[in-house]
Amino acid sequence: MTSATTSARIPAVARRPKVGLVAGGLGAYWPQFPDLLPQLERSAARVAERMGDFDAEVIDVGFISDAEEGAAAAAKLRAADCDLIVGFLTTYMTATMLVPIAQRSGAPVLLINLQPTEAMDHATFDTGQWLAYCGACPLPEMANAFERCGIDFRSVSGYLEDERAWARIGRWIKAAGVRAALRNGRHGLMGHLYPGMYDVSTDLTMVTGNLGGHVEVLEFDDLRVRVEKVSDADVEAKLAETRKVFELDETVVSEDLAWAAKVSVGLDRLAADFDLDSLAYYHRGLDGETHERLGAGMILGASLLTARGIPAAGEYELRTSLAMLIADRLGAGGSFTELQALNFRDAVVEMGHDGPGHLAISDSRPLLRGLGVYHGKRGWGVSVEFEVKHGPVTAVGLGQSRDGRYRLIASEGTVVAGPRLKIGNTTSRVDFGRDPGEWCDDWSASGIGHHWALATGHVLPELRAIADLTGLELREVPSSGQG
């Protein structure tokens, strides 16, 4: 274990977002309408129960009835170090009850207005029963107060068992999880820049400045010393895992496969020793020496790391490994991708990459193919070949502007069947519902750079929520199916 690790840190791959929950209403109502508070507390308990269904740790600080209780709740939520605060407006409440929570919690706040049912029973309701449906009343007040206090505002309105509303709430919780993964993540950067790739070059300070987290600068010697300690038994175990996961093409040379397995074990130990949540790497090497062989032997291990939630990207592509992390935490995979060709006959964009891929989103059992040469790179060995699952996908990347600011860039399409090259690449045919050339021009003009993540599903709504919570700009490159 290196000094780089921290003893109590939960890695981003295992960390659930902490979601604070506070419900409230105007205390002046309770003596006037004795049945109201018990009803609202039952609604609050149901919200807490539903929140527990999401993959999040819910910190419920209870029900507040006035500004003093709001201030006390703010202190509890700040101490809990939440990633998102959910304020449940059960009935009318004053802005002074929630503004301190939003100001002091250190986390973004989502306000939810979920009335008991779809509509009131107008013929039988009295004032007290109406007030249980009055959560919408304070929402404009909160929005105005938040605006004047310089607090970002977001809300979800619906009713208690409204699945559309809960889908939107879940989207914000997912976005909070991504924000937490970025803010708490440890991102490995190993080797050196692929010569000449200006777009890939990344200012490490701006990773922390834009997203939070830590960049751990690694050398290939950090991998070398771990690979040298890998035993024959370790290699055999990794080979058994490999044969279980992959189909092996007849072109695979046994010595190359064994070397890739040995490097894979070393990569596992590197990720554990440095407590990594993502990894970007590249090393050129020379004349078959050890570092060249390490660089060439990365593809198997990097793909296996990516499949288990530690995205690994080649060509020193740190921003793309971060985009892959975003996609992975959305449950959308996120495979290392670049443009390969435009197919004007079939109106598709062919994209993918040689090197690591996200095995969990392969349309079929991934293939290991033996290559005598890696195009544009030194070395030889085994490479991963597959296509992303057929159906809706989203291309997701991180661009960087002249002033150093990061931006999310995304476009929705559909992976469709058809002929693909069989050259050890993760090639997918993506239909964006428009002329491939026009889409390519718009995508390139977005500032995307050389690489990005190809994620399963149409996740633009989730990316919009992530952009809101992180303060990143989101550029959406249009397609016919954009949501």
Confidence band (pLDDT; 50, 70, 90) for 11?
low
Q: Are 227 and 262 in contact (CB under 8 A)?
A: yes
Shared domain for 165 and 209, answered yes or no, is: no
For the residues of 79-96, what is the DSSP string, one character each? HHT-SEEEEEE-S---GG
Confidence band (pLDDT; 50, 70, 90) for 7?
very low
Strand order in the sheet with 214-218: 214-218, 186-191, 278-282, 312-313
Mean pLDDT of 414-420: 97
Residue type at position 416:
V
Report how far apart the first and last C-alpha atoms of the chain are (Å, whole number).
46
pLDDT value at residue 3: 36
> Total domain count for the chain?
2
pLDDT at 188 over 90: yes
pLDDT value at residue 286: 87
The answer as to whether 59 is a domain residue is yes
Mean pLDDT of 385-409: 96
Shared domain for 173 and 193, answered yes or no, is: no
pLDDT value at residue 277: 96
Mean pLDDT of 215-219: 97
Shared domain for 251 and 317, answered yes or no, is: yes
Q: Are 58 and 17 in contact (CB under 8 A)?
A: no
The answer as to whether 154 is a domain residue is yes
What pLDDT, in 10s, does the model give residues 79-133?
999 999 999 999 999 999 999 999 998 899 999 999 999 999 999 999 999 999 9
The answer as to whether 481 is a domain residue is no
Shared domain for 95 and 241, answered yes or no, is: no
Q: Last residue of some domain: 182, 201, 236?
A: 182
What pLDDT, in 10s, does the model give residues 155-175?
999 999 999 999 999 999 999
The answer as to whether 11 is a domain residue is no
- Expressed in percent and rounded to 5, the helix, strand and coil fractions of the chain are 40, 25, 35
Cα–Cα distance, 61 to 51 (Å, whole number): 13
Distances (CA, A) of 449 to 200, 371, 397: 7, 27, 8
Cα–Cα distance, 26 to 184 (Å, whole number): 37
The answer as to whether 176 is a domain residue is yes
Q: Are 91 and 118 in contact (CB under 8 A)?
A: no
pLDDT at 4 over 50: no
For the residues of 141-174, what is the DSSP string, one character each? HHHHHHHHTT----EEEEETT-HHHHHHHHHHHH
Q: Last residue of some domain: 182, 202, 224?
A: 182
Shared domain for 331 and 284, answered yes or no, is: yes
Confidence band (pLDDT; 50, 70, 90) for 5?
very low
pLDDT at 406 over 90: yes
Shared domain for 22 and 37, answered yes or no, is: yes
Tokens 């435009």 belong to residue: 342
| Dihedral (Cα; 400, 339, 292, 385), 10-degree rounding | 130
For the residues of 384-421, what is the DSSP string, one character each? EE--BPSEEEEEEEEEE-TTS-EEEEEEEEEEE-----
Q: What are phi and psi of 115, to 5 degrees?
A: -75, 165
Shared domain for 272 and 330, answered yes or no, is: yes
Q: Which helix (H) or strand (E) holds 103?
A: helix 99-104
CA dihedral (314, 315, 321, 324) positive or negative = negative
Cα–Cα distance, 483 to 454 (Å, whole number): 17
Looking at residue 444, which CATH number applies to its domain? 3.20.14
Mean pLDDT of 450-473: 97
Looking at residue 141, which CATH number applies to its domain? 3.40.50.10940
Shared domain for 120 and 216, answered yes or no, is: no
The answer as to whether 61 is a domain residue is yes
Of 298, 295, 288, nearest to 261 by C-alpha is 298
Shared domain for 325 and 469, answered yes or no, is: yes
Cα–Cα distance, 404 to 458 (Å, whole number): 28
Which tokens in the block code for residue 413?
A: 């399409």
Strand order in the sheet with 155-159: 57-64, 18-24, 84-89, 109-115, 155-159
Distances (CA, A) of 163 to 51, 58, 67, 109, 341: 13, 19, 31, 21, 41
The answer as to whether 147 is a domain residue is yes
Domain that holds residue 176: 18-182
Residue type at position 328:
D
pLDDT at 2 over 60: no
Which tokens in the block code for residue 308?
A: 């288990």
Shared domain for 308 and 457, answered yes or no, is: yes
Shared domain for 354 and 290, answered yes or no, is: yes
Mean pLDDT of 357-377: 88
Cα–Cα distance, 426 to 400 (Å, whole number): 25
Residue type at position 298:
M
Confidence band (pLDDT; 50, 70, 90) for 55?
confident
pLDDT at 52 over 70: yes
Q: Are 279 and 308 in contact (CB under 8 A)?
A: no
Q: What is the mean pLDDT of the chain?
A: 94
pLDDT at 8 over 60: no
pLDDT value at residue 164: 98
Q: What are phi and psi of 471, to 5 degrees?
A: 80, 10
Confidence band (pLDDT; 50, 70, 90) for 12?
low
Q: Are 64 and 73 in contact (CB under 8 A)?
A: yes
The answer as to whether 47 is a domain residue is yes
Shared domain for 175 and 190, answered yes or no, is: no
Q: Last residue of some domain: 165, 182, 199?
A: 182
Cα–Cα distance, 352 to 367 (Å, whole number): 14
Mean pLDDT of 431-439: 98
What pLDDT, in 10s, does the model give residues 276-328?
999 999 999 888 899 999 999 999 999 999 999 999 999 999 999 999 999 99
